[in-house]
A and B are shown apart, each in its own frame.
Chain A
Amino acid sequence: MVELKNVSVTYSNGVDALDKVSLRINDGEFAFIVGESGAGKSTLIKLMLKEVSPNEGRVYVNGFNLNKLRLNKTHKLRRTIGFVFQDFKLINTMTVYENVAFVLRSIDAPKKYIRNRVPYVLALVGLKDKVKSYPNELSGGEQQRVALARALVNDPKLIIADEPTGNLDPKTSWEIIELLQDINKCGTTVIMVTHEHEFVKHFGGRIVTIKEGRIAFDDYI
């Protein structure tokens, strides 16, 4: 569950990114967060990952009170979240397998579990044959699938996708959103940030619109 109570964020350069935002996304929900560039969508995501801290208000994610979470304990929060970004954020010097396995290695998972789990998740996203490839040898869609596999491998409670289709062609974008919906059907909460209204209209569900740092619309369509 994600809960923001009267959260305001002002950056050091004086820009007010969020202004008294209150939002609650329950476990198992699929929510689209839409808004124009500079509306505050990315700040909202950064708050959830504790990349930025609120100037005022409270933030709770997956049972963590982010106002009290120390910077050297952020890994505990982030291990409960899978993320997918527009620029994929894959480590180019690691193979597809290593990129996905890194998440499990960082939590000291047993070798045998890693050996079974990583190929399984890569097969789920249709990349069984690309385990030995490096990210720069893959297409944009394939790279995003690797990012999805990495987000899934640790079986997180919440997946945050920040403009995951921003660099992809329409067909691949479609497939990625369908994959996210399938993941959501298995019980994982999904928050997807996008500015592509066509997808939102087509898939429907909960839509949260942010405008000038405030929530302008929050309902199901």
Chain B
Amino acid sequence: MKLSSMNYLFRQGMKNIWTHRIMSLASFCILMVSLLLIGSAIIFVSNINVFIGSVENKNEVIIFLNDGLSADRIEQMGSKLKNMDNVSECFFYSRDAAFEDLKKDMGDYDDLFQYIGDESPLPDSYRIRVKNIGNMSSTLMSVNRLEGIYSVKAPNDFVNILTELRGFVSVIFAALMTALVIVCLVIISNTARASVDMRKREISIMKLVGATNSFIKIPFFAEGMTIGMLAGLTAAVVTCVGYTQLGSVITSDMTMWSAMGFSGLIPLKDIIVRIITGYVLTGALISAAGTVMSTAKYVRV
């Protein structure tokens, strides 16, 4: 096909948007609402995951060491802990530092510390954080196999709650997304079919005068893609504005959220490119594919 023909067909597609403006507007609105629903669900779950992740990062496993271990031995244990797959952070907390901190925390009990003396009664310890809280139990098993450990203190209840919460969110999200995507695809394909159905006479005439299937489909493709891109772009703008508004409402009273360990929404600048490209590409793809597929049965004449 010549470039001038392609140019003509794309121009026809653009013209058709205006010629069939009522159906174009219906497709645009349905697509935009569908994209908004799916996009908002994804952004909501991303924030929930980041929230769970931030809470996970605050967890700490404390590994108390036996008394009397040499400095070399303590260092060796440290490098073994750091080399474990699931360990993200590991730092040494000496018995003296722990004792000093305890004294600071219990400043009102000076008498008690005078009685204990200057020698720290606390053990040396390592504190680690894990990358994936779901693998906490296997990490703890590896830690317990190390020699020279007095005891390990891990937030098991907390870990269980978070693991269950993450699983719950994943299941709910998958179900919600499946339902949303199915509903949206059905509505979008019905709208595309209705839009094409109105033009079946036009398509049959084009076939009769000898137009190829692709010559008939390209304007529909251009039309569907443009409507999809515009719907995606509008949905992106609505999402960004709504997200900014929601962010300012949340940050206006952070006390409650901070108490829950929530540091705020994912910054818009971190996700804006993904929001726009995701919406525009998905909108263009679904709309163009839906429209072109709807023409299939009419070009078979």
Contact = CB atoms under 8 A, between A and B. Distances in A.
B256 interface: no
A107 B2 contact: no
Contact of B5 (A51, A83, A90, A108): A108
Given A93-B19, A93-B202, A106 B301 contact: no
Contact of A106 (B19, B20, B202, B211): B211
A78 B205 CA distance: 11
A105 B207 CA distance: 13
B4 A102 contact: no
- Counting chain A CB atoms within 10 Å of each CB, which of B16, B207, B210, B300 scores highest? B210
Interface stretch (A19-27, A53-61, A68-76): A68-76
Interface residues of B, number: 22
B209 A105 contact: no
A75 B211 contact: yes
Given A51-B301, A71-B300, A108-B1, A89 B19 contact: no
B215 interface: yes
A154 B210 CA distance: 10
Contacts of A103: 209-210
Nearest to B202: A91
A111 interface: yes
Interface in B178-195: none
Interface in B160-214: 201-202, 205-213
A81 B4 CA distance: 25
Contacts of A2: none
Contacts, number: 48
Contacts of A214: none
A78 B208 CA distance: 6
B150 interface: no
Nearest to B209: A103
Contact of A105 (B5, B16, B205, B208): B5
B8 interface: yes
Contacts of B206: 91, 102, 106
Given A91-B202, A106-B206, A75 B4 contact: no
Nearest to A72: B213
A150 B202 contact: no
Interface string B264-301: 00000000000000000000000000000000000011
A79 interface: yes
A197 to B, nearest CB: 28
A49 B20 CA distance: 30
Nearest to B4: A111
Nearest to B15: A93
B209 A108 contact: no
Contacts of B215: 106
Given A105-B5, A108-B2, A90 B205 contact: yes
A14 B246 CA distance: 66
Interface string A31-50: 00000000000000000010
Contacts of A111: 4
B8 A105 contact: yes
B212 A75 contact: yes
Interface string A72-105: 1011101100010000011101000000001101
Nearest to A82: B209
B198 to A, nearest CB: 11
Nearest to B212: A75
Nearest to A85: B208
Given A91-B202, A108-B2, A102 B211 contact: yes
Given A51-B301, A71-B300, A93-B202, A102 B209 contact: yes
19 contacts: A49-B208, A51-B301, A74-B207, A75-B211, A75-B212, A78-B209, A83-B209, A89-B201, A93-B16, A93-B19, A102-B209, A105-B5, A105-B8, A106-B206, A106-B209, A106-B211, A107-B210, A108-B1, A150-B209
Given A106-B212, A150-B209, 11 more contacts: A51-B301, A78-B208, A78-B210, A89-B205, A90-B205, A93-B202, A102-B206, A102-B209, A105-B5, A106-B211, A106-B215
